[in-house]
Amino acid sequence: MNTVNEMTVVFESRSVNESFARSSAAAFVAQLDPTVGELNDIRTAVSEAVTNCVVHAYKNTIGKITLNVRICEGNVVFIRIRDKGCGIENISQAMEPLYTTSPEDERAGLGFAVMQSFMDDVKVRSSVGKGTTVTLMKRLIPRLNDV
Amino acid sequence: MVPKTVFNSGRLTVYLSGDIDHHEARKIREYTDAIIQEKKPSDLHLNFASVHFMDSSGIGLIMGRYRMMQLYGGKVRVVSVPESLRKMMELAGLGSLDVLERRT
């Protein structure tokens, strides 16, 4: 799929950056003239993925998070969130709704379930001790002026 | 942002606002729990009218207060939920817990 436009930002895994991450992804996607609902879905999914990096990947440490947003032909958006943190031992278990390793922090265990239901596709690659890459895909509804 | 609270004849209403994510939820939780412990309300209303964004941290916030109020024998109601937050609340199954105010 041909890339039309792309941006990358790198930031530290501080919880204050969760809002920076979702806002910058949404600001970049805004050029496609998405609906309010689509933009809200993207904001929410990015927030979940970045929170996972802050809470789990870099638990008790500060590391770098890379957010890459790619706009492809046909109004398709790919968003990649990458960390070099602890990695996930069992990805399918981590993706189960309500599964959490941080109940004391009131984590609901819904992060991946939200990403899956708010986006069209979610892919997770992880290597223990090396990090995790989450790739989110959303196909935006074509706008009238594109047809 | 610190929420505004109103306590009146056993009911504590917490007016949440802005964005509720993992960063903000922690502050809201600490502030709200201190008031709940002081007032020991029989009803806790979480008012979402001025919340513009919420991720699953908001669900953790609601569920945590739900459990806390059960300890006091009190009830939680989630009220004035904007349309944009419904998807998250329904995905989390809050509808079946009978805490979510019905659409009016």
pLDDT of residue A55: 95
Q: Using an 8 Å CB-CB cutoff, list chain B residues near A114.
A: 55-56, 88, 91
Domain topology for A3-146: Heat Shock Protein 90 (3.30.565)
Interface test with A, best of B26, B56, B62 (most A CBs within 10 A): B56
Q: Which residue has the higher pLDDT, B32 or B97?
A: B32
Q: Which residue has the higher pLDDT, B98 or A140?
A: A140
Kindly state whether residue B102 falls inside one of the protein's structural domains.
no
Closest chain B residue to A108, measured at CA = B60
Whole-prediction pTM: 0.94
pLDDT of residue A116: 97
Closest chain A residue to B25, measured at CA = A106
Give me the number of domains chain B comprises.
1
Kindly state whether residue B75 falls inside one of the protein's structural domains.
yes
Q: Using an 8 Å CB-CB cutoff, list chain A residues near B63.
A: 106, 108
pLDDT of residue A128: 98
User: Among A51, A108, A113, whose Cβ lies nearest the Cβ of B21?
Assistant: A51
Tens digit of each residue's pLDDT (9 = 90 or more) over B20-41: 999 999 999 999 999 999 999 9
Domain boundaries, chain A: 3-146
pLDDT of residue B1: 72
- Please report the beta strands in chain B, taking only residues with DSSP state E, as ranges in sequence order: 4-8, 11-20, 43-54, 75-79
- A106 to chain B, any CB pair closer than 8 A? The answer is yes
Range of B71's domain?
4-97
Kindly state whether residue B56 falls inside one of the protein's structural domains.
yes
Per-residue pLDDT band at A146 (split at 50, 70, 90): low
Kindly state whether residue B27 falls inside one of the protein's structural domains.
yes
HEC-encoded secondary structure of chain A: CCEEEEEEEEEECCCCHHHHHHHHHHHHHHHHCCCHHHHHHHHHHHHHHHHHHHHHHCCCCCCEEEEEEEEECCCEEEEEEEECCCCCCCHHHHCCCCCCCCHHHCCCCCHHHHHHHHCCEEEEEEECCCEEEEEEEEECCCCHHHC
* CATH label of the domain that carries residue B72: 3.30.750.24
Mean of per-residue pLDDT scores for chain B = 92
Kindly state whether residue B104 falls inside one of the protein's structural domains.
no
ipTM: 0.92
Q: Nearest C-alpha of chain B: how many angstroms from A2?
A: 31
Kindly state whether residue B28 falls inside one of the protein's structural domains.
yes
Tens digit of each residue's pLDDT (9 = 90 or more) over A81-132: 999 999 999 999 999 998 898 888 888 899 999 999 999 999 999 999 999 9
pLDDT of residue B104: 63
Tens digit of each residue's pLDDT (9 = 90 or more) over A23-43: 999 999 999 999 999 999 999
CA triplet A24, A26, A29: central angle to 5 degrees?
Answer: 110
